Amino acid sequence: MNFYGKIIEKDVLHHKCKSCGRSLRINQVIRKEIDDKEEFIVSVYYCYICDLYILRFKTIEKKRDDPYNKN
């Protein structure tokens, strides 16, 4: 499987497979910019027992530095 984007983490997070209940290791996390305000994050998990790829999607708002509000 090919996923395009910048890989930001590897083998960090754990989740459980919804089919067999086994603990999953993360395969990769990909961050892709949508526009100037948002980023799209895809977490890719793989279950070796069920031979399934599990994808989790999240959209986050980018934090912007405000040049007028310096502390």
**Residue range of the domain that includes 21:** 6-61
Amino acid residing at 36: D
CATH number of the domain where residue 14 is located: 2.20.25.420
Residue from 25, 30, 27 nearest 59 by CA: 30
Domain count of the chain? Answer: 1
Residue 23 domain-assigned (yes or no): yes
pTM of the prediction?
0.52
pLDDT in tens, 27-61: 777 777 777 777 777 888 888 888 888 887 777 77
Contact 24, 54 (CB under 8 A): yes
CB atoms within 10 A of CB 26: 18
Contact 55, 42 (CB under 8 A): yes
Residue 45 domain-assigned (yes or no): yes
More confident residue, 13 or 60: 60
Contact 56, 45 (CB under 8 A): yes
